[in-house]
Structure 1
Amino acid sequence: MPGTVLLLAASPVGKGCLVDAASVLPVLAAVPPAVLAGTDTANVVELADPLEPQAVLTRLRAAAAAPGPLTVFVAGQLQLDRKQRLPHLALARTTPSTVRYTGFPWHWFREELRLRAPGTTTLLLDLHADAETWGWLRGRGLECGAGVAAYGRVAPPAGRRKVAAPTYMKAIATVLRSGGRPGPEQLHQTALARIAGEGEVGDLVLWGAGPVPGTGAGAGPVPGTGAGVPGGFAPAAPAAPAAPSVPASGGGAPGSPPPALDGPRPRTPDGPAGDPHAAITAAVQAGDHSAADALAARLEHGALVAHGAGSEEALHWSEVRADLAMFAGDAERSCRTWMAVAEARLAAGQPADAAPVEAAVDRAHHQWGRVTDRNRARDLGPALAELRGRVPGRRQGALDHVREQLRQLQTQG
């Protein structure tokens, strides 16, 4: 089965730039697609200094929906937004004051990759952080989602008015161009060995299994996740990472995916054997959308009975069903389900600017725009406009867009 490769390099234009991220793309592009993916054949998508977070989201979502192995290479810099203090990948127009609107929220990677079968997704990351974000990461690490094998580094600022180079990612490209395709962990360790020879390792937060070459300091696997640190990164700092705060809703850290994705897999109706996410993904890839939704509906019902309507366990399966409706081409059902998820989160006491609430409304808005039946779209519009009034989201003018589209639908009859 062919693989899919997403090459993403992003950094702000101007004095806020910490790393010349795009400089690695020509080196990566010189590697044959099959070698980048570790498969016989592969499709490669390249994003160089994108301007809009939605453009990145669209490409990531398409890559995540492709069958077969997915490898994502990301070079860039991380910044915290000032309101929620969540990490974002800075894009070309990002400034410290506009991160929330112009950066790509890191938790979107987790959200878009959450339905992929475990073991089919690899992230290779070469990231730099400003001083504030660097301090935040040293206490928390950086999560990429359950079932995702993540390898790479985050480096602190290179120095006043100095733009760093993505040397880790260039080392990855150099290894791949030299022939052969080592596994991701060996590739990671080989790249670390190369940049260690340049004197960089001592200044980095590193991830991966085993000791950091030449230092004796080990990043090691995250407890409970096994070698290779699937699902997230733990800082290789002397201090152990602090546990993330838990919001009042009972879920994970703000903006994190539901516990069903980051913790032990939920039991299927027939017992714990097998992964329900993998079974659902297989059904979707086989084109059996009704079977996929039926399984998710049973799991949703079981979670409702066991944990209650506002629980993260139940909301997780509602979100899965919303995505399944999208995959099946039923934009109306997907829109309604995402709106119901948002309403449930709000009713459970989650604030309107909480990342999961905003994500649910954004996806409802997106799916509403794909409803082709004008009467059905017109029927959905008022509820979406009311919800948008409470959850404006990060995109300026989102509520005005719903109202304008609704006026057009009503005028056209």
Structure 2
Amino acid sequence: MVIDREDTAGTALLLAAAPVGKGRLIDAAGVLPALAAVPPGALTGTAAATLVELADPLDPQTVLTRLRAAVAASGPLSVYIAGQLHLDHRQRLPHLALARTSPSTLRYTALPWHWIAGELKLRRPGTTTVVVDLVADEQTWQQLATDPGLLALCHGVRVYGRVGPPPGRRALASPDYLKAYAAVWRSGARPPLAALHEQVVAQSAPDRALVFAADFPPAQAPAPAAPSSAVPPVHVPAVPAPPAPGTTAATAAVPSARQEPGRTAGDTTAPPPTGDTTAPPPTGADPLPSILAAAESGRHEEAAAAAAAWEQHAHRTHGSGSAQALHWLEVRADLARLARDPAASCRLWMAAAEARLARGQTLDAPDVEGAVDRAHHQWERLSDPEAARALAPALIALRRRVPGRQRAALQVLQRRLERWHDTGEGVMR
């Protein structure tokens, strides 16, 4: 959904992720208590804000869904990322490792960096800030040394942060850069982000770190020096900064100042009033977070009805082939997955892939491949033979056009369908 207006309320997404076990290079989630203890508005530079936390998520699709919800918010957006980077072996593209990521499963269990870039490009320039505190494995670090543009996001997104080299053997890096941010904010200071970044880099960036300062490519970290005279000095307390007593890393939400009379904050999941599904859905706070909350609490029909209403509104307002309509189509596909309706999810993801191709995206575009992969995955979860048989021809035709990264995916699909026909068994194994 393209953001074309700015409200006083902001949104902050805190993502801290690293593999569980010996593959972990950084204690990424260790920064969340400190950041969660900061008033949400300090994270976004606004009077009020919605704060969403993702601590060691397991599934890249879950992260993508939450990122899309944050991107769809109308006010300023700040994304804070702590974690570790790896390259996939086939395309040599950077991925953010998640809790289940291992070297052999990277391409399926980690979050591709270009997914983040692809979502953020939908926002209006100047409304988005990304702050990163990352480490890279040795292979990724060597690649970044020659091509730091690997982590480029998109025009109009302010980027601050650091990427450090891998820690020593059996060592675990600490997200001290972001902890220093939190320490300043908890002291009550609210310096401009550029000034805060400069002071924190002088304190916490290792000599070999790549440093981001609003624009790409990142520069080699300078030796600690006095701050520029263009900005006032900012006192940075020592880190680490423990959270306040009783504080937990829980999600907090501050309602937007723009709210309809008679509606509670975040109450946007209901379908349009008077039973007219063609009427514009209610306005107010961004609907996606509360739609997802409804789905996650088991109110799947309510969530699906609200998403369908917003999709119809996007069709009427922006056109059937618009990015806004496509956004809500993909939301509906993921809601069907959450509702454990793989047949509906498969149909919707196939429709999303076709819609992206109709918009001129190429057959190997990551978003197209991703939609087809998700449709295929949902088809494999079907236990109803009739539903599987009905969806198979369209999925096979789509797979022939979009083979995706898994080059044998079409053959696997066909063999599974043939085996099912021969044995009369269900699709699930």
TM range (shorter): 0.5 to 0.7
Structure-2 change in CA distance of 1:334 and 1:83 (3 Å): closer
Q: What TM-score, normalized by structure 2, do the two folds share?
A: 0.61
Q: Is the aligned partner of 1:204 residue 2:213?
A: no
Matched residue SS, 1:203: coil
Which of these residues, 126, 130, 139, is aligned with residue 119 of structure 1? 126
Alpha-carbon distance in 2 for matches of 1:364, 1:341: 14
Question: 1:40 is matched with which residue?
Answer: 47
**Residue type at the aligned position of 1:130:** D
Aligned partner of 2:20 in structure 1 is 13
Q: 312, 322, 328: which is aligned to 2:326? A: 322
Partner of 1:183: 192
Distance in 2, matches of 1:395 and 1:319, equals: 28
- Contact 2:373 2:404 survives alignment (8 Å): no
Are 2:88 and 2:107, in contact at CA under 8 Å, matched by a contact in 1?
yes
Alignment of 1:142-153 (within 5 A): 142-153=151-162
- Among 143, 151, 154, the alignment partner of 2:163 is 154
Q: Alignment partner of 2:218: what SS?
A: coil
What is the CA-CA distance between 1:98 and the residue it aligns to? Answer: 1.5
List per-residue Cα deviations over 1:281-310 (Å, max 9, x = no partner). xxx98986357535x97xxxxxxxxxxxxx
Paired residues of 1:81 and 1:99 also in contact (CA < 8 A):
yes
SS at match of 1:161: coil
Q: CA distance change for structure 1 residues 87 and 8 in 2, over 3 Å: closer, same or farther?
A: same
The amino acid that maps onto 1:339 is E
- How far off is 1:337 after superposition? 5.6
Report the TM-score, using the length of structure 1 for normalisation: 0.63
Aligned match of 1:277: none
- Supply the distance in 2 between the matched residues of 1:396 and 1:32 (Cα, whole angstroms): 49
C-alpha contact (below 8 Å) 1:82/1:97 kept by paired residues:
no
**What's the counterpart of residue 218 of structure 2?**
235
Matches within 5 A, 1:182-331: 182-195=191-204, 200=206, 202-208=207-213, 228-229=214-215, 233-237=216-220, 289-290=314-315, 293-294=318-319, 322-323=326-327
Deviations 1:178-220, CA, capped at 9 Å, x for gaps: 2132232222112212215xxx2x1211111xxxxxxxxxxxx
SS in 1 for 2:167: coil
Tell me which of 168, 175, 182 is aligned to 1:173: 182
Q: 1:338 is matched with which residue?
A: 353
Within a 5 Å distance, the mapping from 1:60-71 to structure 2 comes to 60-71=67-78
User: Retained in 2: the 8 A contact 1:88–1:104?
Assistant: yes
1:48 & 1:337 partners in 2: Cα distance? Answer: 29
**Counterpart contact for 2:78–2:128, Cα < 8 Å:** yes
Q: Give the CA deviation at 1:177.
A: 1.2
| Residue 21 (structure 1) shift | 0.6
Q: 1:191 to 1:291 in 2, by over 3 A?
A: farther
Take 1:48 and 1:396, find their aligned partners in 2: how far apart are those partners?
A: 34
Task: Give the letter aligned to residue 108 of structure 1.
Answer: W
Per-residue deviation, 1:323: 3.1
Local SS of the residue matching 2:75: coil
Q: Which has the larger radius of gyration?
A: 2
- Cα shift at 1:95: 1.4
Local SS of the residue matching 1:234: strand
The answer on whether the counterparts of 2:403 and 2:409 sit within 8 Å (CA) in structure 1 is no
Cα separation, 2, equivalents of 1:383 and 1:124: 42
How far the C-alpha of 1:397 sits from its partner, in A, is 8.5
Task: Name the residue aligned to 1:103.
Answer: 110
Shift of 1:63: 1.0
In the alignment, which of 5, 11, 16 is matched to residue 4 of structure 1?
11
Greater relative contact order structure (CA < 8 Å, 6+ sep): 2
1:8 positional shift: 0.6
User: Identity over aligned residues, as a percent?
Assistant: 50
Post-superposition offset of 1:71? 0.8
Contact 2:126–2:158 (8 Å) recurs in 1? yes
**1:51: which partner in 2?**
58
Partner of 1:137: 144
Structure 2 stretches lacking a partner, 5+ long: 1-7, 222-284, 288-309, 334-344, 380-387, 422-429
Relative distance call for 1:193 and 1:394 in structure 2 (3 A) is: farther
* Residue-by-residue CA offset, 1:108-144 (whole Å, 9 max, x unaligned): 0011122111111111100000111011112222111
CA distance in 2, matches of 1:7, 1:395: 35
Query: How many residues in Structure 1 have an aligned counterpart in Structure 2?
Result: 308
The residue correspondences of 1:15-34 to structure 2 (distance < 5 A) are 15-34=22-41
Tell me what 1:411 maps to: none
- On the 8 A contact 2:44/2:77 being kept in 1, the answer is yes
